[in-house]
Every structure is written in C-alpha cells, then in structure tokens.
Amino acid sequence: MSPSSRRPRTTAHDIERYAALFAQRTKVMKSSAMRDLMALTERDEVISLAGGLPDTSTFPADSYASLMGKVAAESCARALQYGPTEGLAAVKACVSDVMAAEGMTVEPDDVLVTTGGQQVIDLVCKTLLDPGDVVVCEAPTYPGAVPTFCAYQADVVQVTMDRDGMRVDELASVLDSLESSGRRPKFIYTVPNFHNPAGVTMSLERREELVRIAGERELLVLEDNPYGLLRYEGESLPTLRSLDEDFVIYASTFSKILSPGVRLGWTVAPAPVLAKMNIGKQASDLCSSSISQYFVGAYFASGPWEDYVRSLIEIYRLRRDVMLDALAEHFPREAVWTHPQGGLFIWATLPSYIDTTDLLARALQEHVAFVPGRAAFVDGRGGSSMRLNFSGVDEDSIREGVRRIGEVVREQVELYGTLTGQRPAPPAFGTAERHGRDASPGLVGTVAEAELAKVLPLSRKRAG
Amino acid sequence: MSLVAVLKGGRSLERQVSLKSGARVEDALSRLGHRVVAIDVGGDLIDRLSSVAPDVAFVALHGRDGEDGTVQELLEVMGIAYTGSRVSACIRAADKVLAKHAMLDHGIPTPEFFAFNETAFRTLGAGQALPAIERRLHFPIVVKPASQGSALGIKFARSAEDVPGALLSAFSYDRKVLLERYVAGRDLAVSVLADDAGGSGAAVALPVVEAVPTGEDFYDFEARYEIGRTRFECPAALDDAVASEAQRLALDAFRLLGCSGFARVDLMLDGETGELFVLEVNAIPGLTETSLLPQAADAAGIGFDELIARIVAAAGR
C-alpha cells in the first residue's frame, strides 16, 4: 500500500455520508453544550452537587468481598452464564420483599428484572410509543427521561408541579385539550415520591385523583419510584400501584437501596404490557447481568437488607439538613427552594433574570457545580432553576459548595441591581423560616413566584 | 519525522471540543509518520513538556489559556516551536474587543458595538447608558463575553428588558462584555491556512463555508458541534465577487492581527445591504469532524492529513 493510499479522505464528505445514515430520531437526541459543561463538573477540584449519586462509600468492603466469594463458591458457572430475560427467581423474590416494604403485594411472575430503573423507561417507550405519540410528564421532569422520550420521538407535554406534586387539575385540562384535538397520551410519567429534580412528594389526594383519571380514561401511568424508601420525615404514602393495578406500570431500582453499580431495577406492569416489555428487553440485552443478580440474591440472603437502608437514611437526612441550613445562610432572599421529605435532591429557583446554564460556567470557575434546570424541561423552561444533590458529597463539601454557589448568585443579583438601577437586595441571613417545610417550587419568593406560580398554559413540544 | 506533543483538553469550557480536536490531530500526525505524545494540559504541563522535549507542540486547545496566548507564552519560554499564532496575535484574536477596535482602525468592517467591563456597571453607573446604547444599535442586540471562543454566553436581546439578563449571562464568562449590532443575514466562515510554499509565512484563504441552522433561530453552541443540527455548505453558494471579498477581508483580518499558521474568520453577510462584516478571528479553530476549517480545506482539495501537515510545517516559523 502506498503512503498516499493510506491517507483517508476525511471531513466534509465523510460527514455528509454519515449524516445521511443517521436515523431521524438522532436529530432530536441533543446534548452537547450542557454535556460539555457537565463533563467539567467531574474534575477532582470541583465540588459537584450536580450528580445524582448515592453514597456507596459506607458499604463495607468485607461484605462485598464475602458476598462475591459466596457467589463464586456456590454459583460460579451460573453467574457467568446468560440468565432468563425476566430475571432470576431469587432476585424476583427480593423485589417482592422490597415492594412489600412499600405496602405492595407482588407475585414473582409479575416482575421483570431490568438493567436499572432507566431501562424501564426505555422499555415502556419502546413498547408504547410511535413517533409523535404524546407522553405527559411533570414540569420539571427527571432529566434522564428527556433523552429517552426524545429518542422515541415523543410529543412531550409537561404539567406544572407545586408542593403537592403534579397539578392533577391541570392534567385533567391538558387531557381534555388533547382529546379535543383527537389525541390521547400513551402514558403519564410521574415520580410521586421525593421527585427528581423537584424534591416534592405527591399528596394522597392527588395520587387518588391521578389513578382515578387514569382508570376513567384508560390511560397508563408510569410510576417511577426509585427513592420511596429513603424517607427522612413524615408518613409514607401509598404508591400509585397500590391504589390501582390495572393502569399503573411500576418502576423501581436497587440503585438507591443497595448500589447503582449492580445496574438492576425492575418493573411490575399489567400482564399484557409486561409481556411486550419482556420481548423488548430480549431485543435490548437478552437479560440483565447474571453476576449482579447473584450478588443481589446473596446480599438479600445474608441478613436484613433494611439495615443498610436505615443507615443511608441517617446519612442522607443529615446531609439534607446541612444543605437546607446552608441554603438559608448563603442564598439571597430572591431565591426559593424545596424542602424534600426524602430522596436525593433540592430544587432551587433563582430570579428569572439569572440563567443557570450560564451561571454554571461562572460557578465552575469557583470549582462548584449543579445541574441547570433547563435539563428537566423539553421546552426551554427551567432556565432560572437548578437541581442540587445532597447525597453524593460529605457535609463540609455541601456547606462549602452551597456557599460558593450563593456567592456567585449574590454577585449576579447585585450586578443586576446596578444594571437596572435597582438597589441590590439585602442578604438573606435569618430567613430560614421562609423556606420551611411549607416551601414549594415557585410558591414563595418574589420574582420566581410571579414566574412559576401561575398556571402555565398547555405547553407542548414536538420532539420530532 | 518529528516528535510532536499534542496539547489538548485543558481547563477551559471548551475542553470537550479540544479533546475531540486533539484526538483527530493525533491520528493524522501518526499517519504522517510523526511520533506523537498527547498531553492533557494541566498543572504538570511544564514537567510534561520538559520530559517529552518535543520538536514541535501542536496546540489543539480552545478557549481560555489555550487560545489566548497563555500556553503560547509558556512554549516561548521553553523554546519549543508550536503551531498557530504567536502570543501577541493570540491575545488580540481572543479579545473580541481588541480585535474589533483594530479592525475599525484599519477599515475592516465589523458591526458597531460598545464594550464594558464589570466595573463600568458596578462603579460608574454604566447601566444608565444602556438606553443610549440601545438607541444606537437597535434591537435585536447581540450581547457576548469578550473572550469566550465558542458561542457560549452569547445572547440575543430583543427588547430593553432582555438586556440586563443578557449582560448577566455574558458576565458569567468574562469580566468584559460587548453589545453588538445584530447583522441579519448569512453566517459565513473563511478559514485561512499557511500556504504550502514554506518559509515565507504567506497564507491563503480557503473556500467560504456557510453555516445554515436547521430549525434554530441562532447558530448556537450545541449546533456548532453536533452533526445534524447545522447544515454546512462549502463552498457557500455566493456570487464570485462576494466570495472573493469575504476571502479578502478574512486575509486582511488575519494579517492585521498578526496571525500565523491557520485561523478561522467569522463573517456575516447582511441580508439586506449585501455588506460583509467580520465578527471575529479564531486563532485556534476547531478541528473536529464537524468543524469548519477541515471542511473548507477539504473543499479546496486538502485532506485532513495534509491540513495538519501544513499547520505543523508552518509551526514556529
């Protein structure tokens, strides 16, 4: 081969060639600016309140070693082998245990073990959606669901939330409005407990109303419940699945009660839906990791799994409280935030003139990071909000991280004052009571209140 | 063949883009027969350069530190030949305000603008001058940080009430920002490359690329680097006279700022008047698979490897 023939022709022609090969749906699989910024949050010197990471550092290494040793000694060949698509019987029994702890009775046959809870979202979309089909979700919604909805070219409609979760009254009018144009959503996606990113929990009344609407209109609800067992205060509420089994697809995960590294979640769904999802899963990955499933089985057999969850609850409750205190101390009075009763996230909303994507660039100079709110919307809303995670870093880092973010926010508030001739607002010391457990996204505060508290008009974004 | 250190990554907001550019450059250099060492630029840069002792450093960094003369200054100190523009040209090109003043002074058309640093607002009450600025520039006004290389932080203010928020966004990236008259029209880029004669330092303008946004009202940061979000036409469908004029302006701007090796000059073609305006000069344009310089080179019959070979040949001369 001559040297010249080894030099491939590149660039424009290649790009055109590849571009012609890409599926239509890749045109809506967007990411880059925020993804590039988010990549910077992973640098060592950055205090990242951006991740959604559980703290895996307290899981005892010797337990891990002995569990894996047990798997090797007792199930080596099977752990290294393919398994059934629906999951190992032992793991489905673990799922029954976990769901029983949340007040649900489930037969192992009703369970499909998945590769994380994320795969459930993907399988539901794969099973139910044709391009242009409507999905209803909360505003904001789980940022990780947005690319999945977009990849299936869903028409995503977001319904406003308040302190009691999704505005079910607004949902009803959204459904009416859709129906008047001859459309009905394929499913309603919701995170009722300790919402990611909003940090709020759906009230019992709304849960009952939601399943009533779903039943009446024969619509499926995808109930995503990864955090339900991580409650730091208040009484547990029944899951949607325990209120209605006919129209609820339930999704959960071992990620938050054991480890996200095992990449195991599950779904429980009406039998015909589950059968289709099973076929979809076969096409995706045949089965979830057998090694992980044997590990989970050994873990549940080794002692009460609830003990570790209780220890996590202690850790996370403290970190949540530290973050709430730090927010009260360091964020300016124009900011509002939620008071989560569990889960991993606080949602903070700044005055509408602050763009949190640009603020992240500024915050990264101070070596601190959060998730800009826009990631949780499909329609460009959320530009002044941010998601803060309190589970993944220690208390000192939370205090320092919030202090640094507060500093750059305050800097922007002051600068805005000089730009508009308004006096900068006084600092927010001693205003913690404004942000007590009654606080909710967009319902207290000044500018943010005007911006978010109104009922937003039906907002629709054709993802395709 | 030479030992080439490819400097990539770094701490700027364009780190990811730089990693992509750097990886492609490494591949090309290897194919060209060079020995290649990749350096992700960080606190150990001097140590790494000392121990590698390259014949040439290929600077594939974008944005702060990499494109603004900082890394170039260090390479000068260490006596290592490097690709692209010298320190002073990097400083001029990286600061849009400096570059635009230089262009105005030398008759290169650039959209009317006003620039301020934060102190002007904080201590001199520049906010009170905003209405006068708005009357001069007319809406929409483009608000951008002086130094950010990519489209990060660039905002359109469509009315007076958008201006303070847009300024805040721009100030998130830099202490100095500019408000610029928006030129509605076609978004053009002319890449300039050292000619292949060698030694003379002469440069040629490559065919004009036009960026046509697909469905977005602005050619934004995301579109710039993702396949399928922006359609590029190269050579752009322009009258010969317009294309030649764009190339002439690009070369003028390149020379005025003292650039060398390669650069990309961004222009707007006013949709109403047909006038051309130079927006900025990028001293180290992207070299990713979707970047404009490689596309323009390709249109001129210069493959990526040859492009990289020419940039290396021009290093340090």
- Over the stretch B183-212, which tens digit does the pLDDT of each residue have? 989 999 999 998 876 544 589 999 999 988
B91-109+183-313 shares its CATH topology with B113-181: no
Task: Tell me the two tokens of residue B117.
Answer: 């640093």
Give residue A366's domain range: 28-57+307-452
Overall fold of domain B3-83: Rossmann fold (3.40.50)
Residue A369's SS3 state is strand
Long-range contacts of B41-45 (CB under 8 A, 24+ apart): B41/B7, B41/B8, B41/B9, B41/B10, B41/B11, B41/B65, B41/B66, B41/B71, B42/B9, B42/B10, B42/B11, B45/B7, B45/B71, B45/B74
HEC letters along chain B: CCEEEEEECCCCCCHHHHHHHHHHHHHHHHHCCCEEEEEECCCCHHHHHHHHCCCEEEECCCCCCCCCCHHHHHHHHHCCEECCCCHHHHHHHHCHHHHHHHHHHCCCCCCCEEEEEHHHHHHHCHHHHHHHHHHHHCCCEEEEECCCCCCCCCEEECCHHHHHHHHHHHHCCCCEEEEEECCCEEEEEEEEEECCCCCCCCEEECCCEEEEECCCCCCCHHHHHCCCCEEEECCCCCCHHHHHHHHHHHHHHHHHCCCCCEEEEEEEEECCCCCEEEEEEECCCCCCCCCHHHHHHHHCCCCHHHHHHHHHHCCCC
Chain A interface disruption, residue of B122, B172, B304, most A CBs within 10 A = B172
Beta carbons within 10 angstroms of residue A90's beta carbon: 16
DSSP secondary structure letter of residue A231: B
Q: Which of the following is catalytic: B147, B282, B291, B310?
A: B282
Helix (H) or strand (E) holding A336: strand A336-337
The answer to whether the Cβ–Cβ distance between A420 and B164 falls below 8 Å is yes
Residue with tokens 């990713």: B288
Identify whether residues A188 and A258 lie together within a single domain: yes
Percent of chain B whose pLDDT exceeds 90: 74
Q: Catalytic residue among B225, B260, B261, B316, which?
A: B225
Please judge whether A361 and B232 are an interchain contact, meaning their C-beta atoms are less than 8 angstroms apart: no
The two structure tokens encoding residue A212: 């009533």
**A102-114: per-residue pLDDT in tens?**
999 999 989 999 9
Within a domain: residue A176? yes
Cβ distance of B31 and A14 shorter than 8 Å:
no
Domain boundary (A256, A277, A301) is at A301
Among A151, A160, A312, residue whose Cα is nearest residue A226: A312
Q: Compute φ and ψ for A120, nearest 5 degrees.
A: -65, -45
How far apart are alpha carbons A405 and A311 in whole angstroms? 29
Q: What is the pLDDT of residues B7-49, one digit of tens each?
A: 999 988 888 889 999 999 999 999 999 999 999 999 999 999 9
Residue B141: what are its φ and ψ, rounded to 5°?
-110, 140
A164 and A272 share one domain: yes
Residue A282 amino acid letter = Q
Identify the CA nearest to A274 among candidates A458, A130, A114.
A114
**Is A379 domain-assigned?**
yes
Per-residue confidence (pLDDT) for residue A10, from 0 to 100 = 43
What's the pLDDT at A35?
Answer: 67
Low-confidence ranges of chain A (pLDDT < 70): 1-20, 26-36, 422-464
User: In this complex, which of B13, B226, B297 lies closest to A32 when CB atoms are compared?
Assistant: B226
The DSSP H or E segment spanning A251 is strand A248-253
Of A32, A353, A421, the CB nearest to B222: A32
Using a 10 angstrom Cβ sphere, with 0-12 exposed, 13-18 middle and 19 or more buried, the burial of residue B237 is: exposed
Angle between helices A12-21 and B292-299 (to 10 degrees): 110
**B13/A14 CB distance under 8 A:** no
Tell me whether residue A89 is exposed, middle or buried, using C-beta atoms within 10 angstroms of its C-beta: 0 to 12, 13 to 18, 19 or more.
middle
Backbone φ, ψ for residue A281 (5° rounding): -70, -40
Tokens at residue A369, please?
Answer: 């990071």
Q: B250 and B190 in contact (C-beta within 8 Å)?
A: yes
> If one looks up domain B91-109+183-313 in CATH, what number appears?
3.30.470.20
Quote the pLDDT of residue A378: 85
Is A60 strand, coil or helix?
A: coil
Q: How far is A359 from chain B (nearest CA, A)?
A: 6
Same domain, A119 and A150: yes
**Residue written as tokens 């505003």?**
A139
pLDDT on residue B137: 93
Of B10, B69, B153, B286, which is the active-site residue?
A: B286
The pTM of the full predicted model, rounded to 2 decimals, is: 0.85
CATH code assigned at A186: 3.40.640.10
Q: Closest to A415 (Cβ–Cβ): which among B130, B168, B303?
A: B168
pLDDT digits (tens, 9 = 90+) for B98-107: 999 999 999 9
* The domain boundary residue, chosen from A244, A278, A301: A301
Nearest C-alpha neighbor of B65 from the set B104, B7, B11: B11
Minimum Cα–Cα distance from B64: chain A residue:
A365
Whether B182 is a known active-site residue: answer: no
Query: Is the pLDDT score of B221 beyond 80?
Result: no
Tell me the ipTM for this assembly.
0.84
The verdict on whether omega for the bond into residue A140 sits within 30 degrees of 0, i.e. cis, is yes
Residue A256 shares a structural domain with residue A336: no
- Pick the catalytic residue: B85, B150, B191, B291? B150
* Residues A325, A360 within the same domain: yes
| Residue A246: per-residue pLDDT | 94
* Active-site option among B15, B153, B266, B291: B266
Interface residue A9 vs chain B (CB under 8 A): yes
Q: Does A20 touch chain B (CB under 8 A)?
A: no
Q: What is the pLDDT of residue A427?
A: 39
Say if residue A88 is in the same domain as residue A111.
Answer: yes
CA-to-CA distance for A55 and B98, rounded, in angstroms? 48
- Position A141 in a domain: yes
CATH number at residue A312: 3.90.1150.10
Report d(CA B31, CA B35) in Å as an integer: 10
Query: Each residue of B152-183: pLDDT tens digit?
Result: 788 889 899 999 999 999 999 999 999 999 99
| Residue in A4, A7, A10 to test binding to B, most B beta-carbons within 10 Å | A10
Does A13 reside within a domain?
A: no
**pLDDT at B121 > cutoff 50:** yes
Whether residue A335 sits in one domain with residue A321? yes
CB–CB contacts below 8 A, A to B? 126
Which residue of chain A comes nearest to B220, CA vs CA?
A: A33
Task: Check whether residue A249 and residue A105 sit in a common domain.
Answer: yes
Q: What is the pLDDT of residue B212?
A: 82
Residue A408 within a domain: yes
Superfamily of segment(s) B113-181: ATP-grasp fold, A domain (3.30.1490.20)
Q: Which of residues 394-413 of A touch B (CB under 8 A)?
A: 412
Active site residue B245: no
Domain boundary among A301, A331, A366: A301
Same domain for A286 and A217:
yes
Contact between A198 and A190 (Cβ < 8 Å): no
Domain ranges across chain B: 3-83, 91-109+183-313, 113-181
| A185 and A267 both lie in a single domain | yes
- Reported as a single tens digit per residue, the pLDDT across B246-303 is 999 999 999 999 999 999 999 999 999 999 999 999 999 999 888 899 999 999 999 9
Active site residue B282: yes
Note whether A169 and A315 are within 8 A (CB): no
Q: What is the model's pLDDT at position A39?
A: 76
Query: Do both A205 and A241 map to the same domain?
Result: yes
Which tokens sit at B31? 């194919």
Q: For position B1, what pLDDT does the model report? A: 79
Tell me the shortest Cα–Cα distance from B165 to chain A, in angstroms: 5
> Who among B122, B295, B297 is closest to A418 (CB)?
B122
**Total structural domains within chain A:** 2
- Whether residue A44 sits in one domain with residue A155: no
Residue in B31, B121, B169 closest to A358 by CB: B169
Which tokens go with A433?
A: 């009571």
What percentage of chain B reaches a pLDDT higher than 70? 92
d(CA A33, CA B250): 28
User: Which amino acid would we find at residue A129?
Assistant: L
CB atoms A11 and B295 under 8 Å: yes
Which H helix or E strand runs over A425? none
**B239's tokens:** 């009258």
Q: Cβ of A12 and B232 within 8 Å? A: yes
* Annotation marks residue B264 as catalytic: yes
